[in-house]
Chain A
């Protein structure tokens, strides 16, 4: 597989002295969906903004589709499409007029543009709304329009920055479905910024976890998940002795025991072997077992393990507060 994006020693220091990126090294292979996963403020948008020539890097080397960022940023913009986090369409224009505007800026002839615009509206299911003002579009329709804008000049790489933010679950699922089909149909390379673990897991061929401006893990979702050693047995008991934690800790194969709310989280290498021993110990100590479940390694766990911090749905740490 060809490498289509390459970043070496990429750093970014903002004017206020904040170091957003601290020496990023990564490559993206052609035709893959590459996910940059991290909390808010981790450096995802900064990375994408540099790769798409929207902001300047401080140091490092970036090659996008064989073009050196330092030498020809305009040429890079000819080969990429961008879906920004927020809507960037003009609400006072119709969907068609928005696409015609971008086509004009992309140097497309009006005949080619009109043909491509009709084709995109058809594929996105926006045909009926093409001549309606964008201010009348729903959130899901606006996201589709953003994607249509990004696809207008047949890009070789498409950058998606938190594309499903603020979408309802149905629209998110529809958007993911479209992205998957798009990749299958065109073989396009997709660079996805997300803080949704499920989004990264379902869509990406390769995930890079970024934290505090550094990439701390990279690989296919399954490999990332395997960085978490072992399973977690989650039990709820009653009438346990004060030394219950220590008793379970001594069971053969148990790595760690943590009490969280009214549950004991027992980390072990192999839950199939350890769970019966745990149940036996509970009985022996005259405690009453109320619930038992086994949690297999998930991307969320992997993220927790790798970054050392918890995860919430809105992409903020549950230990550090707001990271913005």
Chain B
């Protein structure tokens, strides 16, 4: 019964998405352009004098052999966040168009309704993250372009941890922005909020720059950002884990705590929004 309900919500959203995939295309193109244009042109290693050896660069970039490889993993997380930010659009539009009213008027458990949105939006959020990962690796085979260089010892377990990290990161931000979408009274409020949050989420993480180069006050904030946790799991598994404070399992546990907290908070907010008297 619960699976029927979750499936019904996800299926409807999938049909709509299939018929107007512009959102997906535009959301995915952003990180891809970062990867191909910014990532290729902006090479922090090139700014350093020749006297600085590769060893120093690799240690500064937490094991990444070059800046592009470091940056590409950052973009994996960023692409996930930049799609998650639009997770609230579906409930927002469903609310203003009356579809939400019809949905909550059915016997379906209201937690299942939220779960249906969460399932679809999380999958949608994860897809570009994996695509960025695959594309950045594939760039190795295009002459003249830098690609993601990974350690030779990457195995199934490493890939499993990367997968879990991306799932947890997607769940965290999807829950958060779904909750915003459910409670926003109008489109402007929602889009204003997302525009305000997108860059700070990216810039208070180590997605683009090593944490060690940041001021101390910013480093503490960066450590708490789920993007940093996910990025650390992926980098540690891709480049080797000698230079990280914690093991991937610890970062995953932190990330799982964030995800769980945000899902519970979102569920509470969303269930309350079903009774909002507007």
Mark A residues whose CB is within 8 Å of B.
Answer: 14-15, 52, 54-56, 74-75, 77-78, 82, 84, 86-93, 97, 100-107, 149, 153
Count how many chain B residues have C-beta atoms less than 8 Å from C-beta atoms of the other chain.
Answer: 27
In the complex, the answer to whether B109 meets A74 with C-beta atoms within 8 Å is: yes
Q: Which residue of A lies closest to B99 (CB)?
A: A90
Q: Is B106 an interface residue (CB 8 A)?
A: yes
In the complex, the answer to whether A88 meets B16 with C-beta atoms within 8 Å is: no
In the complex, the answer to whether B12 meets A97 with C-beta atoms within 8 Å is: yes
- How long is the Cα–Cα vector from A153 to B105 in the complex, in angstroms? 12
Contacts of B7 in A (CB 8 A): 104
Q: How many Å from the CB of B188 to the closest CB on chain A? A: 21
In the complex, the answer to whether B98 meets A92 with C-beta atoms within 8 Å is: no
In the complex, the answer to whether B98 meets A15 with C-beta atoms within 8 Å is: no
- How long is the Cα–Cα vector from A92 to B20 in the complex, in angstroms? 9
- 8 shortest interchain CB distances as A-B pairs: A104-B8, A88-B102, A105-B106, A105-B108, A88-B98, A77-B107, A78-B107, A101-B12
Q: Is B5 an interface residue (CB 8 A)?
A: yes
Number of A-B contacts (CB under 8 A): 78
Q: What are 15 inter-chain pairs, A to B, with CB distance below 8 A?
A: A56-B275, A74-B109, A78-B107, A82-B105, A84-B105, A88-B99, A88-B101, A92-B19, A97-B12, A101-B8, A101-B11, A102-B102, A103-B8, A104-B7, A105-B8
In the complex, the answer to whether A106 meets B102 with C-beta atoms within 8 Å is: no
Q: Which residue of B lies closest to A12 (CB)?
A: B277
- How long is the Cα–Cα vector from A55 to B101 in the complex, in angstroms? 11
The residue from A14, A54, A86, A103 contacting B105, defined by CB atoms under 8 A apart = A54
- How long is the Cα–Cα vector from A246 to B66 in the complex, in angstroms? 104
The residue from B16, B98, B107 contacting A93, defined by CB atoms under 8 A apart = B16
- How long is the Cα–Cα vector from A55 to B276 in the complex, in angstroms? 7
Contacts of B8 in A (CB 8 A): 100-101, 103-105
Contacts of B101 in A (CB 8 A): 54, 84, 88
Q: Which residue of A lies closest to B9 (CB)?
A: A105
Contact with A along B99-117 (1 / 0, CB 8 A): 1011111111100010000
Q: Is B196 an interface residue (CB 8 A)?
A: no
Q: Is B48 an interface residue (CB 8 A)?
A: no
Contacts of A103 in B (CB 8 A): 8
Contacts of A86 in B (CB 8 A): 98
Q: How many Å from the CB of B33 to the closest CB on chain A? A: 28
Contacts of A15 in B (CB 8 A): 277
The residue from A78, A89, A153 contacting B99, defined by CB atoms under 8 A apart = A89
